[in-house]
Amino acid sequence: MDAYKYAEKHNVLLVHGAGNNGFNVDENPYYPNDVDYEKPGEVVANFINVGSTTRKLDNTFVSNFSNYGKMNVDLFAPGDEIYTTSAGNSYKIDSGTSLAAPMVSGTAALIWSYYPKFSAKQVKQIILDSGTAYDIEVLVPGGEGKKAKFSELSKSGKVLNVYNAMQLAKQRAKGK
């Protein structure tokens, strides 16, 4: 936790894939994270924990491998069947929260490229506030057919939306 606090003090945003175990990280501690499981709440304000979605806006919207948690996963981003680089100077289709997290990192970098005076905490809040909410029931990863509202599987209940993030950053930069 000291490293996280050091990063927060130096305005560094930490973006982390929530994990590919298909379980609730509120009930099953999964490290690294920004949580002190003995005290409720986040320890730092510069950490974003990212779950993975598929491209299908139906009950399979949340990737079946993605970790989730109403308190400890901040939002979701595309991370299923992503065309990406691979070993041996090649490309492949791969899936995982490690592919969803860079979507959020790239969004943060884009925001900072236009608005470099924002703090890490402000960039995090813009990303969370600007996400897209979906009012659908989804299969809970690892839940053996159990369904839940998508909004109940993460803190924001949203999916990353880069366009909305840039629009919100513009508004907040103007003080609106």
pLDDT for the residue numbered 143: 86
Q: What is the pTM of this model?
A: 0.94
**Where residue 106 falls among pLDDT bands split at 50, 70, 90?**
very high
Backbone φ, ψ for residue 159 (5° rounding): -115, 140
pLDDT for the residue numbered 31: 85
Domains with residue ranges and CATH for the chain: 2-101+137-158 (3.40.50.200)
Q: Are 48 and 74 contacting, i.e. CB atoms less than 8 angstroms apart?
A: yes
